[in-house]
């Protein structure tokens, strides 16, 4: 594996050259009285997460929800209309019968509170069948991303956004904006940083990949996704706690940063891998790990489709180096963590537990093998799934 290191401490430029900031503080940047009488639009969890990622620059160069030209270009070309790489349209759906109400500045609300606004510049019809096929590679509504797509409104609003306050949520100690992550990386003097994303509890295979990467670069950004996931996924609070206990004893503190990624999962597999990589560039990261079935669900994508899709771009075009790892597992015969590249033994010697199997074991009160996960992590998971007394 060839690792290209930057020749200075300068962080990679955000996509588009500028880290977008659309934070507007009430009483400081504008008078809240100006919002009186404006139409209001209630956001769902995913759109609320998108609002934060847009406004804090994680989705640079986007300044708001995409217009029709960008939408169609992303679907057909994996690029914005101006040619900038981008893989998933960030849209704001509304019901067709309500679309006419939203003109000019519209206040965005979440859980009954004003959280931002959008200056509506365009409203256009969603091409849901096309979007499902291009983004998710299926029209099957059993796919959670496709189901969410069809459950949303049929008209998309486009325009620049503003966010009133970063919603630190359940993880205020670990919730950092891209600008704040960049400050930590610069303060620590890391010339190169690798990011690792997961929506599942950490296990030894994850730890193995992270530490192999950490042998090659200066710093590791552990960046678990904490936005909305499927109902049967392990809750974000449990996953973050598992990272916390693991970091206490098994990672070098000066070379590791735990920070949450507030995005919601789309389960778009290959296209979502690109989005995850590009947004990590905006956080100041130079390298990004893409493993087996990144952002996948069910059997909708091939095992390594999320790695292969990066060949759609010219070398260096994305501005972040992708580290591609094969499936890693514990081999009883080898007595260690291995991959198909390093293990000569057949599957009968391999300990492989899917996320579904792990959840089944936890719900049944069964112990997780120490070869699969650290005892400290297993205890966090056991406590989270224990039946209340």
Domain ranges across the chain:
32-163, 178-385
Burial group, residue 33, by CB count within 10 angstroms (0-12, 13-18, 19+): exposed
Which residue of the set 199, 204, 239, 280 is catalytic?
A: 199
pLDDT at residue 6, rounded to an integer: 45
Q: Per the structure block, which two tokens stand in for 134?
A: 């291009």
H/E element holding 221?
A: strand 219-222
CA gap 141, 86 in Å, rounded:
24
CATH of 178-385, one of 2.20.28.10, 1.20.1440.230, 3.40.50.620, 3.40.50.10490: 3.40.50.620
The helix/strand/coil state of 118 is strand
pLDDT at residue 387, rounded to an integer: 55
Backbone angles phi, psi at 362, to 5 degrees: -65, -45
H/E element holding 378?
A: helix 375-385
**32-163, CATH topology level:** Sulfate adenylyltransferase (3.10.400)
pLDDT at residue 9, rounded to an integer: 52
pLDDT at 389 over 70: no
Gyration radius of the chain over CA positions: 21
Q: Return the exposure string of 335-352: e unless at least 16 CB atoms fall within 10 Å of the residue's CB, then b.
A: eebbbeeebeeeeeebee
The rounded mean pLDDT for the chain is: 93
Residue 239 falls in the annotated catalytic set: no
Instruction: Tell me the pLDDT tens digit for each residue of 197-243.
Output: 988 888 899 999 999 999 999 999 999 999 999 888 888 999 999 99
pLDDT at 2 over 60: no
Place of tokens 């509170």: 113
Choose between 364 and 197: higher pLDDT: 197
Which residue of the set 105, 191, 200, 255 is catalytic?
A: 200
Residue 200 falls in the annotated catalytic set: yes
CA gap 218, 137 in Å, rounded:
37
CB half-sphere exposure, 248, CA atoms < 13 A: 8
When pLDDT is averaged across residues 132-155 and rounded to a whole number, the result is 98
When pLDDT is averaged across residues 46-57 and rounded to a whole number, the result is 98
Q: What is the pTM of this model?
A: 0.94
Burial group, residue 63, by CB count within 10 angstroms (0-12, 13-18, 19+): buried
């Amino acid at each position: 594996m060839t690792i290209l290191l930057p020749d200075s401490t300068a962080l990679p430029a955000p996509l588009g050259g500028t880290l977008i900031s659309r934070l507007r503080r009430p009483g400081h940047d504008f008078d809240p009285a100006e919002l009186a009488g404006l139409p209001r639009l209630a956001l769902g969890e995913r759109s609320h997460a998108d609002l934060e990622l847009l406004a804090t620059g994680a989705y640079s160069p986007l300044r708001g929800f995409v217009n029709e030209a960008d939408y169609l270009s992303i679907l057909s070309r994996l690029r914005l209309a101006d040619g900038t790489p981008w893989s998933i349209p960030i849209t704001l759906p509304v019901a067709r019968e309500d679309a006419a109400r939203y003109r000019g500045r519209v206040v965005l609300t979440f859980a009954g509170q004003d959280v931002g606004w959008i200056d509506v510049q365009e409203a256009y019809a969603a091409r849901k069948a096309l979007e499902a096929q291009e983004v998710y590679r299926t029209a099957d509504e059993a796919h959670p991303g496709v189901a969410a797509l069809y459950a949303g409104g049929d008209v998309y609003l486009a325009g620049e956004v503003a966010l009133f306050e970063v919603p630190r949520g359940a993880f205020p100690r670990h919730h950092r904006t891209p600008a704040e992550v960049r400050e930590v990386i610069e303060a620590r003097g890391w010339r190169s940083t690798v990011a690792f994303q997961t929506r599942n509890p950490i296990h030894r295979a994850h730890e193995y990949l992270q530490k192999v990467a950490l042998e090659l670069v200066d710093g590791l950004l552990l960046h678990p996704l904490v936005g909305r996931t499927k109902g049967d996924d392990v809750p974000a609070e449990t996953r973050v706690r598992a990272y916390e206990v693991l970091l206490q004893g098994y990672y070098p503190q000066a070379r590791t940063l735990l920070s949450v990624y507030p995005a919601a999962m789309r389960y778009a597999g290959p296209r979502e891998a690109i989005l995850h990589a590009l947004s990590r560039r905006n956080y100041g990261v130079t390298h990004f790990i893409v493993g087996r079935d990144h952002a996948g669900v069910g059997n909708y994508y091939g095992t390594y489709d999320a790695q292969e899709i990066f060949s759609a771009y010219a070398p260096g075009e994305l501005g972040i180096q992708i580290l591609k790892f094969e499936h890693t597992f514990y081999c009883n015969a080898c007595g260690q963590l291995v991959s198909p590249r390093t293990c000569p033994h057949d599957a009968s010697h391999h300990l492989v537990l899917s996320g579904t199997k792990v959840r089944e074991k936890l719900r049944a009160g069964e112990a997780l093998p120490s070869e699969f996960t650290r005892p400290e992590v297993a205890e966090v998971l056991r406590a989270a799934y224990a039946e209340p007394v």
